[in-house]
Chains A and B, each alone.
Chain A
Amino acid sequence: MENAIEVRNLKIRYRSFKKLSIRKSLFKFNEQETFEAVRGISFAVPKGQIMGIVGKNGSGKSTLLRAIAGIFSPDEGEIDLHGHTVSLLALGVGFQKKLTGRENIMLAGMLLGFTEEEVKEKMPEIIKFADIGEFIDKPVQTYSSGMHSKLSFAITAILETEIMLIDEVLSVGDAKFKKKSYRKMKQLIANKDRTVVIVSHSSATLSKLCDTILWLHEGKIMMQGTTDEVLPEYEKFME
């Protein structure tokens, strides 16, 4: 089976710089600690598979997800997405506050790897799904947090990247939009051509949605296998 994601000997380190003040610490840039969040892991996710990632807090789950999304670049090893487009669904996309919702849709789409024409084509659908009325042509800085989340979710959900990364279960906007976004997410996941990686602490959600599970512990793979194999072991470990 064709792989959508291949991770080989991936290591991600943070140079944990702290904010400095010139007055307090001139020329102390070398005093940096390095923390290895992901410690040489390798795995592959076949195209169309839904993989869950579990692990206790600080095990490297979110770092791994952000590395697959490209936000962190590997310090060692490599991540090969075989040219597939990728988005991080739970976080949505970032906005430039001075610009309108419509302009931000275009920019976010371009950052997700779509062409101007592709985003223009999907624009009406995104605007309809976001359901924020005339605010779409107003600067994002005038949006409420709910409107902000709705537009952000609509962009990543409607642009439909080939690989979707979901960090924790979505909880976006008002009750009506929450239902709509959850339905949309399930529909997106159900697409057999789409590869999905979900990070969650909820075993119930993962057993419902995922085909396989990757269990991370202190930056390394503790276990990898089908949902039925890994989840019971993980729950036992966490008790």
Chain B
Amino acid sequence: MKRFINDCKKYYKYAIYSGKAELKSDIAQSHLSWLWWILDPLLFMLVYTFVALVVFGRAEQYFSAFIFIGYTSYKFFEKTLKGSVRLVAANKSIVKKVYIPKHILLFRKMYVNGFTSAVSFLLVFCTMAIYRVPLTYHVIGFIPLVILLFLITFGFSTILMHFGVFVEDLSNLISVGLRLVFYMSGVFYSLEKRLDSELLRTVLLKCNPIAFIIDQMRNALLYGKGIHWKLYFIWVVISIVLAVVGLRLIYKNENGYVKVI
């Protein structure tokens, strides 16, 4: 724990500078540059509005904002987890030549993904304004939920980052797993309203952290409901335990990474 804190203090400036440079390079390499940060969630929202309204004939209240919340939260989790699997190998030119605590690479990734997600969340607030969603004090719940999203993503990512060094086809498995999480998280539909089975609904909303975060965020921002704090703190504890396990694995085995990559 002490080593983790010292490393964070020593390298946080590097993580921020490096993240900013990566964002700049992403902009430079694309024709529409930063517009993609807005276009991506916008186009996704249009596709799923079509699927929900035309194909299934069902939509939720404040549907655009409803989808933006689901998509932005899931996309941050998905991009970070997918990236973490190959993170050490992708940075082998650095890892082999200078010492860098490996979780700093993860922080950089989360900084980049966090920034694009922040742009996407601006769309949430814009659509909320367009819909004239009545604001309640529960809106503040957005902040602890974003913190939980970061914690749970970091926890899972540290573990995947470690095993991703050694297991060649882990990224394939993770892609399938994340696709499953996508459909089981209610990104473009309401788990609460669309699932008939009480058991399945409860299991998904309580045992799938992304479904829990998306559901609670929609409640806080759109529907004026408070956070389920008991479950919230259980997930905070689980996130911390995952992060501790992942960091211990990384610190214990990082000498071996240099040889494998």
- Chain A residues at the B interface, C-beta cutoff of 8 Å: 12-23, 29, 66, 69-73, 75, 87-88, 91-100, 103, 106-108, 110-112, 116, 139
- Name 14 A/B residue pairs within 8 A (Cβ), A-sorted: A13-B255, A14-B255, A15-B255, A17-B165, A22-B170, A70-B98, A71-B96, A93-B97, A93-B98, A94-B98, A96-B94, A97-B93, A107-B21, A111-B99
Given A93-B98, A111-B14, A99 and B22 contact (CB-CB distance below 8 Å): yes
Please, what's the 1-or-0 string for B73-102, where 1 marks a CB less than 8 Å from any CB in chain A?
000000000000000000111111111100
Query: What's the interface size class on B, roughly?
Result: 35 or more
Contacts of B91 in A (CB 8 A): 94, 96
Residues of B2-28 at the interface with A, using a CB-CB cut-off of 8 Å, are 13-14, 17-18, 21-22, 24-26
Scoring B17, B97, B166 by chain A CB atoms within 10 A of each residue's CB, the highest score goes to B97
Contacts of B96 in A (CB 8 A): 71, 91, 94
- Chain B residues at the A interface, C-beta cutoff of 8 Å: 13-14, 17-18, 21-22, 24-26, 29, 91-100, 165-170, 173, 251, 253-256, 258-260
Our count of residue pairs bridging A and B at CB distance below 8 angstroms stands at: 108
Contacts of B254 in A (CB 8 A): 73
Q: Which residue of A lies closest to B10 (CB)?
A: A113
- Since A20-B168, A103-B25, A111-B99 are in contact, a sample of 6 more A-B pairs with Cβ atoms closer than 8 Å, ordered by chain A residue number, is A71-B258, A94-B97, A96-B22, A99-B22, A106-B21, A107-B17
Q: How far is the CA of A73 from the CA of B7 in the complex (A)?
A: 13
Q: Which residue of B lies closest to A88 (CB)?
A: B97
Q: Verify A107–B97 contact, CB threshold 8 A.
A: no
Chain A to chain B: the 5 pairs with minimum beta-carbon distance, closest first? A94-B94, A70-B99, A94-B93, A94-B97, A103-B21
Q: Verify B255–A73 contact, CB threshold 8 A.
A: yes
Given A72-B255, A98-B22, A139-B25, A110 and B167 contact (CB-CB distance below 8 Å): no
Q: How far is the CA of A18 from the CA of B259 in the complex (A)?
A: 9
Q: Verify B97–A91 contact, CB threshold 8 A.
A: yes
Q: Which residue of A lies closest to B257 (CB)?
A: A17
Q: How far is the CA of A22 from the CA of B175 in the complex (A)?
A: 14
Closest approach, in angstroms, between the C-beta of B177 and any C-beta of chain A?
12
Closest approach, in angstroms, between the C-beta of A141 and any C-beta of chain B?
10
Closest approach, in angstroms, between the C-beta of B164 and any C-beta of chain A?
11
Q: How far is the CA of A56 from the CA of B96 in the complex (A)?
A: 22
Residue from B94, B99, B168, B259 within 8 A of A21 (CB atoms)? B168
Given A13-B255, A94-B95, A98-B29, A19 and B168 contact (CB-CB distance below 8 Å): yes
Contacts of A22 in B (CB 8 A): 167, 169-170, 173
Contacts of A73 in B (CB 8 A): 99, 251, 254-255
Q: Which residue of A lies closest to B14 (CB)?
A: A110
Closest approach, in angstroms, between the C-beta of B163 and any C-beta of chain A?
8
Closest approach, in angstroms, between the C-beta of B4 and any C-beta of chain A?
14
Closest approach, in angstroms, between the C-beta of A155 and any C-beta of chain B?
11
Closest approach, in angstroms, between the C-beta of B167 and any C-beta of chain A?
5
Q: Verify B22–A111 contact, CB threshold 8 A.
A: no
